[in-house]
Chains A and B, each alone.
Chain A
């Protein structure tokens, strides 16, 4: 509540000194910020405060679905002890998917930036095309592609290289789905940073005695690091919180944190406080990881 009041109150404050040029320009900036700030205030900050309040509530014993306002950290304890394996799985699968997406995306983005020529636009459309249909529908399609009767499992089984005999309802299917669904978020930033690189700079590597691979390792790759950083974040963060892929492609047992939150909110009576606590914990964990990651690999001087 206070957040809204604060944001809405800002423009009513009258500027104290009669404005010289600089102050005037300062106010324009605030005015431009206003719509965004209002939006964030109403649809992000308020729900977040609400969620924080819920995560601290306690249940009425014997009345499932009823809570009272409280400062109960028990919910967080439950989130961390009961659901630690789910957190671990979320980060493991998201990490694997991010790695796989990187492995697939980098050569693709490289080819688009340097080798595609007139095919470049077509390739770009192919990368973006999946966005024209819904995420859920595409994941459903994958559940058929990976089904036991599908040709992928069929072929692998025929070749006897599939240990369990099926792909669908295994973690493998989940990682594959995550990789597929977030691939464009990896390709596009990497492509953008490669495309922006001056070809003369890459040639300079060759001119200074670096062969093709060394030039890639010492010049091209470092120059595309901002794109790699953005791509990995854009893939890992949503993948870690995702529940759709696990729901549609994954096994019955061994869910991810997103599924638990989903179930606690929608399926389990009285699950709200724990779900809220799980959400907050997930958010905090991701924030810490991202912070450490950017600290380690971020190259903020790079233009």
Chain B
């Protein structure tokens, strides 16, 4: 029994599935999280993030598959036997205990000799020292969230599960906490599994981001890689903005595929496309698109559109452009020219991008994944 709590090493989910009745909340997930890394789990509401965390914590047993830390198979062990702590989405503070006793709960159970000092440090960290004597019901939502964070962090577990731990905090405190979390994670070398709805948070903090949808992981990788080269339509749209269009692959040109989009040829690098024949959804990020009044020279892709909306942002000007296909694209003009384009709604413009920035994904996600 003591064995589980001493488990050290990488976190590994091995074909883990969780079904509630005939509804599959988590579907055959394989995951490898190296020890000491910051792993973010991103996905829409109800996609199974909390369920995945609960299986790692032992609060839920998988219907199939294994949960391992290092060489120790934790599947079937009880939550209190695992070197894992959770920051619950709903905080789940003990209502009958003071803030201090809430935080000291874990260390006391483990008979930690330094329980008192550790508790004080943890409270200090989340800036809650002055509220140590209060009960949870006497705190605001954001304060409760910080206590929940301290209550889990104080134990320095091998794996820390954070279920939207900063959701209730204002922007300033949120940024401070992000920095603190990152610092603790690197200093102590804990493995963090961080669930969040905030893409920016996931991108800035995590070593690896996994995008989850309908119980399975759509794509996993470094934040920049995921943003640069999404492999499914879902990931392309979920992570940042994407300008997209549907075309039919007609031809190849050296390293490029040539797709026909309403009569206009559009080039995509073969290595950046998941499909090589038939219909393709091509996409390009807004900041990779250049706007001009006349058709530019060069080997790039170009499409004509009509300006719908202009917003001046200071460093850049943002345009929404109606495309011939009926979709609306977004792009930016850096405000560095002495004579700006000065576009108005209704003006015709040419949008260009380097084929090396475009990506191609299957039009239909369902057929692609399974």
Q: How far is the CA of A214 from the CA of B57 in the complex (A)?
A: 18
Bound-state Cα–Cα, A222 to B58, Å: 24
Residue of B nearest to A221 (CB): B96
B78 interface residue, CB < 8 Å from A?
yes
Flag whether A209 is at the interface (Cβ < 8 A): yes
Complex-state Cα separation, A201 to B137, whole angstroms: 13
9-residue interface stretch from A19-27, A83-91, A122-130, A295-303? A295-303
Interface size class of B (residues with CB under 8 A): 20 to 34
Q: Is the CB of B155 within 8 A of A200?
A: no
Closest Cβ of chain B: how far from A294's Cβ, in Å?
16
**Chain A residues near B90 (CB-CB < 8 A):** 198, 200
Q: List residues of B (76-111) whose CB comes within 8 Å of A's CBs.
A: 78-80, 84-86, 88, 90, 92-97, 105-106, 109-110
Would you call B92 and A200 a contact (CB within 8 A)? yes
- Could you tell me if B86 and A207 are in contact, using CB atoms closer than 8 angstroms? yes
* Residue among B85, B92, B151, B155 with max Cβ neighbours from chain A (10 Å): B92
Task: Tell me the bound Cα distance from A124 to B283 in angstroms.
Answer: 59
Could you tell me the distance in whole angstroms from the C-beta of A77 to the nearest C-beta in chain B? 45
Q: Could you tell me the distance between the alpha carbons of A206 and B92 in the complex, rounded to whole angstroms?
A: 12
CB atoms of B86 and A223 under 8 A apart = no
A206-B109 in contact given A201-B92, A201-B94, A223-B95 (Cβ < 8 Å): no
Known: A206-B80, A207-B85, A209-B80. A302 touches B57 (CB 8 A): no
Contact yes or no, A301 B135, CB < 8 A: yes
Chain B's closest residue to A200 (CB) is B92
A201-B94, A204-B88, A219-B94 given; name 14 further pairs at CB < 8 Å. Answer: A198-B92, A200-B88, A200-B92, A204-B151, A207-B59, A207-B79, A207-B86, A208-B105, A208-B152, A208-B155, A209-B109, A299-B96, A302-B95, A303-B95
Which residues of chain B from 41 to 81 have any CB-CB distance to chain A below 8 Å in the complex?
57-59, 78-80
10 inter-chain pairs at a CB distance below 8 angstroms, sorted by A residue, are A198-B92, A201-B93, A204-B88, A204-B92, A208-B109, A208-B155, A211-B80, A214-B109, A222-B97, A302-B96
Kindly state the interface size class of chain A when it binds its partner. 20 to 34
Look across to chain A and name the residue whose beta carbon is closest to the beta carbon of B137.
A303
Shortest CB distance B239–A (Å): 29
Name the residue on B nearest A202 (C-beta). Answer: B92
Give the one of A206, A209, A219 with max B CB within 10 A: A209
A100 in contact (CB, < 8 A): no
Chain A residues with CB below 8 A from B93, complex form: 201, 204
A264 to B94, CA, bound (A): 52
Chain A residues, Cβ within 8 Å of B96:
222-223, 225, 299, 302
